[in-house]
């Protein structure tokens, strides 16, 4: 019987590419996006995403092209007292490679929600994410993002 190595075996065998400082800078830029989200600071988020980035958003089936598409999806998100409210986003298990001015980051998110008006609390979401970033001057900007909500 073939067995697939468990995650810890594959992670232990993995050796990241690129400079450790670049990998840390990419991770810091990604974490800043989620800090901006929980602070409701769209300007902070957008400062880390290239204006022409493509996005596979978990809430919509089509590929988004640039800030205009992203803003359209944002405008369609539920609002008001009955809308789900994110209270925390935890990013973890990052695997980042850097090749010159291009980086590939793979990681997971755990999204936690505030209680609803009736007191019920939605189960946290687990999201698998892949981001491609490019260095522009001294800044790393996301040029493509792909997220999937895991069951």
What is the number of other CB atoms lying within 10 angstroms of the CB of residue 65?
12
Cα Rg, the chain, nearest whole Å? 17
List, for residues 74-85, the tens digit of each pLDDT value: 998 888 777 889
* Segment holding 88, helix H or strand E: strand 86-99
List, for residues 85-137, the tens digit of each pLDDT value: 999 999 999 999 999 999 999 999 999 999 988 888 889 999 999 999 999 99
Q: Is 60 exceeded by the pLDDT of residue 5? A: no
d(CA 74, CA 61): 14
6 pLDDT band (50/70/90 cuts)? low
List, for residues 26-67, the tens digit of each pLDDT value: 999 999 999 999 999 999 999 999 999 999 998 899 999 999
Four-residue CA torsion sign, 145, 33, 85, 66: negative
Q: Is 60 exceeded by the pLDDT of residue 20? A: yes
Structure tokens at 137: 């001057």
């Amino acid at each position: 019987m073939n067995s697939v190595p468990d995650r810890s075996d594959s992670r232990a065998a993995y050796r990241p590419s690129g400079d450790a400082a670049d990998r840390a800078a990419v991770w810091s830029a990604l974490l800043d996006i989620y800090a901006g989200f929980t602070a409701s600071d769209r300007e902070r988020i957008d400062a880390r995403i290239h204006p022409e980035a493509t996005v596979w958003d978990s809430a919509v089936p089509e590929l988004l092209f640039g800030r205009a598409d992203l803003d359209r999806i944002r405008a369609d998100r539920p609002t008001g007292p009955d809308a789900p409210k994110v209270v925390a986003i935890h990013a973890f298990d990052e695997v980042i490679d850097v090749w010159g001015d291009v980086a590939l980051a793979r990681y997971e998110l755990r999204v936690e929600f505030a209680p609803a008006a009736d007191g019920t609390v939605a189960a946290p979401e687990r999201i698998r994410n892949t981001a491609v970033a490019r260095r522009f001057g001294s800044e790393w900007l996301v040029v493509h993002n792909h997220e999937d909500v895991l069951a």
